[in-house]
Amino acid sequence: MSAREVLERVGWRVVGKPVPRHDAWDKVLARTAYAADWEMPGMLVGKVLRSLHPSARIVRLDTERARSLPGVVAVLTARDVPRNTLWTDVPGQTTEVGPLRAKVHVLAEERVRYQGEPVALVAAESEELAEEALRAIEVEYDPVPGVFDPQEALSPGAPLVHSDSKSNLLARWTVRTGDVRGALARADVVVEGTYRTQFVDHAYLEPEAGVAWVDSDGVLTIRVATQVIEHFRDVADVLGLPHNKVRVIGTYLGGGFGGKEDVTVEVFLGLLAWVTRRPVKMVWTRQESLLARPKRHPFVMRYRTGALRTGELVAQEVELLADAGAYAFLSALVLLYASTTACGPYRVPNVAVDAQVVYTNNPPTSAMRGFGAMQVVFAYEQQMDRLARELGMDPVELRVRNGLRKGDRLPIGQVLETHVALPEVARRAWQALGPAQPPSGPHLRVGRGLACNLQPYGRIVWLHDWASAWVGFEMDGSVLIRAGVPDVGAGQASSLCQIAGEVLGVPLDRVSIHVSDSALTPLAGTTTATRQLMMSGNAVLRAATELREHVLRVAAQLLETTPVELQLDGHEVRTPDGRCVSLVRVLRECARVGVPRSAFATYHAPAGDPIDLDRGGGRVFPDFTYGAHATEVEVDTETGAIRVRRYVACHDVGQAINPQSVEGQIQGGAVMGIGYALMERVILDAGNNQTTSFSTYLIPTSMDVPDVIPLVLESGEGMGPFGARGIGEPPVGPPAAAIANAVYDAVGVRVTELPIRSEAVARALYELAGHNG
Amino acid sequence: MKERTRLSISFELNGSPRRIEVEAHRTLLSVLRDDLGTVDVKEGCDEGVCGTCTVLLDGRAVSSCLVLAPRVHGARITTLLGLSPDGRPHPLKEMFVRHGAVQCGFCTPGMVLTAYAFVRSHPQTTRQELRKALAGNLCRCTGYAKLLDAVEAYVREVCSVR
């Protein structure tokens, strides 16, 4: 019997209920210590010297004056780093992953490749002294020609970002199925479009921060805001220490969104604490964070889509070009997600995808919520809108007609094994917009748009993903969970409490959890890829189920019955005929007879080996979450200004473990997507970042967005605990396309470049008016 | 290091008198966090844009990164901790928890204080007015709807039944 079936038999207690998160109280009562709130006695302040040049040779780097300043304890350059290479790969992987393995220098050696690249580190007695030390480091740069556009970077003779590679091409992926040329030639309708997306920043409110110290037993410990406590291995590798001599304690994060997936402060802190043998704290300023952290990839996407008169899709030809910036980080993997989801949640028999990701001297790009599977939504959903208009079809009808079904194959050959809720999400989102509202002024036009998406949850299967968790009863009947899951603020830890509480019948105020400590909590992998509910959720479910079996077996002996009859309700174990024994008594009996009062379990996700995308026929992802967003916008025909008036976001989450958290993820994700659609962009001028503050890098405020209406569908067919699907990333995908489609509906302007700026809409309207005479 | 003007200032922090010596150029934010350990005040942008470091200065919500510390001499400063003076959670905080308005929690201290100060001076406020009042406090997680739900519920259920 599956866990879901058990629950349906005994009744749900806490799973599926909108219970307040345990960490919410800590947060409103100011009991949560974020990374920057931590202090140690005798602590030094660490800072990073960063290159102001996007492309230059370091001619001279002299730290002597800085080193000699009173109160300056350490000044480090690349020469002082035992192993100056950081491998940005996926922790715990078991398969060789080719271009997915990439290297980054900890500190720049003889060359800087982007503005903000770390060049030196200092540790000093105070922040002011540390800043003075940075100013005292003498660096002489010789600027060399850089390349700032991926297309130019591919042209012959372009300056090489990495002189040890033959070209600036970092990775290439292709997907081939059927005969795309022939099918396009036979199609009744072919629509074409080129779409461009921008660099954006995660813009979490908590800047990167941490504190490191060397324990009395010689273990380097780093308390840090991170989505990946497994970076303890990277720190150890850089320092040349055994992995078991470095410990990372992850804090509750003030937001991550993928930006705290790559190493941030931890390697710098590790170096400075190891060298100085004193605690060191490092907190990046907002300017530093916006300048130097990897961004979301800008994409150029060329699409040709062919359909029959009936609306049936027959072919899609896709070219993707992405900007990796100066270092690879996770770019090859991001591009893989884009290539393999480039046709969206639709059945397309003939597909050719050619994707390239290219080095430039722009800031590096890496993971950000949606991870490559979201940029393509902007393209494929406008293609669907174009087709619907060309064919005179209802936008919902066109999508439902072509929507993938359970048992269908994606163009990569992967068979969809779980429910595909595309028709439901599309219909429900569109209907929820309600009756059309008139414009609120004379120069305003109202329009509506729809966009659907599929987003993988869980790591690609050839990384053989796993997560572990420990669940135990204390002698008073309270429950403790240990799980190495970083909580980025999406409720990761709280969901695990709900799962264990449900299985063990213990009220939530009797369940507590330790998370995110590489030394003391079983490793659970990264909080990325929308994977933790599936991974750690299943691990906790297994452990709790095993623990329940132990306890009920002993209770059954005490009650002289069989375990299957028994009910466990947190205080006592009962038989159907009303006899009972207290839980505390059962636990004592377990201790006496030597039955474990805890369980440790590991969940292994579906695994597979890398596939040949050219020939298809394999599985890349464990599963997908499907969604549809519908919006009503109002466009000012004089200024081009766009106001989002209504916004509905519908996703099949399989089973909501906590409906309130699910809604929060959907609303927050949709608003991040609306920001991506309308205002967010990192402005670069030949690699020079012009948006390094929150007054120039704009994210939505409460005045910029309407209340997003979340619609939660529960098909029960996800691979997570109780049939849950991941919901962290999926809601950021559709907004840009939904809004672009709505703008077209309102004023007939097809916006193909993000963000959709009012100037561009106004210009297009002007041209449209002129063209029409 | 250059000699800098130092000033002795006294003010009330969450109901307790404090007297410290600070350099004249220091911000209230850095004095609260670094000198007084009041780390419930968070630092988000250090330029008065994100609202994360909001505190109440004589009952008015201000960005503490834009206030020079000497300015608070003789003033009353309230941080999130000070909003539970008797140790019981303020009802506004309970609304934040109940309505799921807390996700990563980093904007929470500033958001709660801004909402508290606004509602105190506008006890009959509407959702649209709240939207405007909270516009100076960025939140990257919630999408704002649940924050507005929480404050609206506080206005409706707590403020209007006095």
Rounded to the nearest angstrom, the minimum Cα separation between B74 and chain A is 25
Residues of chain B contacting residue A203, judged by C-beta atoms under 8 Å apart: 140
Contact A591, A472 (CB under 8 A): no
Residue A611's pLDDT is 81
Q: Determine, for residues B138 and A663 on separate chains, whether the beta-carbon distance falls below 8 Å.
A: no
The C-alpha angle B145, B147, B149, rounded to 5 degrees, equals: 70
What confidence tens digit (pLDDT) does each residue in B88-133 have? 889 999 999 999 999 999 999 999 999 999 999 999 999 999 999 9
Cα separation, B54 vs B29, whole angstroms: 9
Task: Kindly compute the dihedral angle of the four CA atoms of residues A153, A158, A164, A167, in this order, to the nearest 10 degrees.
Answer: 50
What confidence tens digit (pLDDT) does each residue in A360-378 have? 999 999 999 999 999 999 9
pLDDT at A33 over 90: yes
Percentage above 70 pLDDT, chain A: 97
Chain A contact for B129, CB < 8 A?
Answer: no
Strand ranges in A199-349 using DSSP code E only, listed in sequence order: 209-214, 220-224, 246-250, 280-283, 299-307, 313-325
CB pairs under 8 A between A and B: 164
Strand-pair partners of A684 = A689
Cβ within 8 Å of residue A437, ≥6 positions away: A446, A632, A645, A646
Peptide bond just before A710 cis, omega within 30 deg: no
Residue B43's pLDDT is 98
pLDDT at A351 over 80: yes
pLDDT at A552 over 60: yes
Q: Determine, for residues A283 and B1 on separate chains, whether the beta-carbon distance falls below 8 Å.
A: no
A 10 A CB-CB count for A186 gives 13
More confident: A100 or A699: A699
CB neighbour burial string for B79-89, b if at least 16 within 10 angstroms, e if fewer: bbbbbeeeeee
Q: From residue A752, give the alpha-carbon distance in Å to each of A192, A197, A307, A697, A743.
A: 11, 8, 21, 21, 11
Q: Determine, for residues A286 and B47 on separate chains, whether the beta-carbon distance falls below 8 Å.
A: yes
Which 400-459 residues of chain A touch chain B by CB within 8 A? none
**DSSP letters of A28-42?**
HTT----GGG---TT
Rounded to the nearest angstrom, the minimum Cα separation between A506 and chain B is 21
Contact A305, A383 (CB under 8 A): yes
Cα separation, A626 vs A423, whole angstroms: 10
Q: Determine, for residues B107 and A670 on separate chains, whether the beta-carbon distance falls below 8 Å.
A: no
A 10 A CB-CB count for A748 gives 15
Chain A contact for B26, CB < 8 A?
Answer: no
Cα separation, A220 vs A213, whole angstroms: 6
Cα separation, B67 vs A760, whole angstroms: 39
B124 class by beta-carbon count within 10 Å (0-12 exposed, 13-18 middle, 19+ buried) = exposed
pLDDT at A91 over 70: no
Please report how the helices A375-391 and A735-747 are oriented relative to each other, as an axis angle in degrees rounded to 10.
30
What mean pLDDT do residues A64-80 have?
98
Q: Determine, for residues A27 and B142 on separate chains, whether the beta-carbon distance falls below 8 Å.
A: no
Place of tokens 């396009």: A184
pLDDT at A773 over 50: no
pLDDT at B134 over 60: yes
Q: What is the CA radius of gyration of chain B?
A: 16
pLDDT at A219 over 80: yes
Residue B35's pLDDT is 96
Residue B156's pLDDT is 94
In residues, how long is chain A? 773
Contact A265, A169 (CB under 8 A): no
CB neighbour burial string for A428-463, b if at least 16 within 10 angstroms, e if fewer: bbbeebeeeeebeeeebbbbbbbbbbbbbbbbbbbb
What confidence tens digit (pLDDT) does each residue in A443-468 have? 999 999 999 999 999 999 988 899 99
* Three-state SS at A359: strand
Six-digit token string for A255? 């937001």
Element (H, E) at A557: helix A532-559
Contact A356, A99 (CB under 8 A): no
Pairing, β A169-177 against β A299-307: unpaired
Which 694-723 residues of chain A touch chain B by CB within 8 A? 694-695, 699, 701-703, 705, 707-708
Residue A263's pLDDT is 95
A2 class by beta-carbon count within 10 Å (0-12 exposed, 13-18 middle, 19+ buried) = exposed
What confidence tens digit (pLDDT) does each residue in A102-124 have? 889 999 999 999 999 999 999 99
More confident: A56 or A569: A56
Closest to A174 measured CA to CA, from A335, A323, A334, A303: A335
Q: Determine, for residues A18 and B105 on separate chains, whether the beta-carbon distance falls below 8 Å.
A: no
Cα separation, A597 vs A548, whole angstroms: 9
* Three-state SS at A767: helix
Q: Choose among A205, A669, A672: nearest Cβ to B106.
A: A205
Confidence of residue A613 (pLDDT cuts 50, 70, 90): confident
Q: Determine, for residues B47 and A694 on separate chains, whether the beta-carbon distance falls below 8 Å.
A: yes
Cα separation, A386 vs A346, whole angstroms: 15
Residue A97's pLDDT is 60
Contact A712, A670 (CB under 8 A): no
Chain A residue nearest residue B106, CA to CA: A254
What mean pLDDT do residues A698-702 have?
98
A 10 A CB-CB count for A309 gives 10
Report ipTM (2 d.p.): 0.97
Output the average pLDDT for chain A. Answer: 95
Q: How many CA atoms lie within 13 A of B161 on its CB side?
A: 6
Place of tokens 């209230």: B28
Cα separation, A363 vs A288, whole angstroms: 12
A 10 A CB-CB count for A515 gives 25
Q: Determine, for residues A488 and B145 on separate chains, whether the beta-carbon distance falls below 8 Å.
A: no
Residue A622's pLDDT is 97
Alpha-carbon A232 to chain mean position: 20
Among the residue ranges A514-518, A569-573, A599-603, the one predicted with the least confidence is: A569-573
Rounded to the nearest angstrom, the minimum Cα separation between B129 and chain A is 10
Contact A132, A122 (CB under 8 A): no
A160 class by beta-carbon count within 10 Å (0-12 exposed, 13-18 middle, 19+ buried) = middle
What confidence tens digit (pLDDT) does each residue in A575-604 have? 999 999 999 999 999 999 999 999 999 999
Cα separation, B51 vs B138, whole angstroms: 6
Cα separation, A364 vs A332, whole angstroms: 12
Residue A99's pLDDT is 64
In residues, how long is chain B? 162
Cα separation, A379 vs A385, whole angstroms: 10
**DSSP letters of A215-228?**
-TTS-EEEEE--S-
pLDDT at A304 over 60: yes
* Three-state SS at A635: strand
Among the residue ranges A9-18, A489-498, A532-541, A621-630, the one predicted with the least confidence is: A9-18
| Residue of A251, A253, A440, A702 best to disrupt the B interface, most CBs of B under 10 A | A702
Helix ranges restricted to H, B24-144 = 28-30, 91-98, 108-121, 127-133
What confidence tens digit (pLDDT) does each residue in A198-211 have? 999 999 999 999 99
Closest to A336 measured CA to CA, from A194, A168, A171: A171
Confidence of residue A297 (pLDDT cuts 50, 70, 90): very high
Residues of chain A contacting residue B47, judged by C-beta atoms under 8 Å apart: 286, 693-695
Which 124-163 residues of chain A touch chain B by CB within 8 A? 128-129, 132
A 10 A CB-CB count for A401 gives 17
pLDDT at A101 over 90: no
Please give the model's pTM, rounded to 2 decimal places: 0.97
Which 143-162 residues of chain B touch chain A by CB within 8 A? 143-148
Task: Kindly compute the dihedral angle of the four CA atoms of residues A101, A146, A335, B104, in this order, to the nearest 10 degrees.
Answer: 80
Contact A200, A680 (CB under 8 A): yes
Rounded to the nearest angstrom, the minimum Cα separation between B115 and chain A is 13
What mean pLDDT do residues A88-99 have?
59
Cα separation, A399 vs A343, whole angstroms: 12
Three-state helix/strand/coil letters over A396-443: HHHHHHHECCCCCECCCCCECCCCCCHHHHHHHHHHHCCCCCCCCCCC
Residue A451's pLDDT is 98
Rounded to the nearest angstrom, the minimum Cα separation between A669 and chain B is 7
Q: From residue A376, give the alpha-carbon distance in Å to each of A195, A390, A455, A472, A652.
A: 9, 21, 11, 44, 20
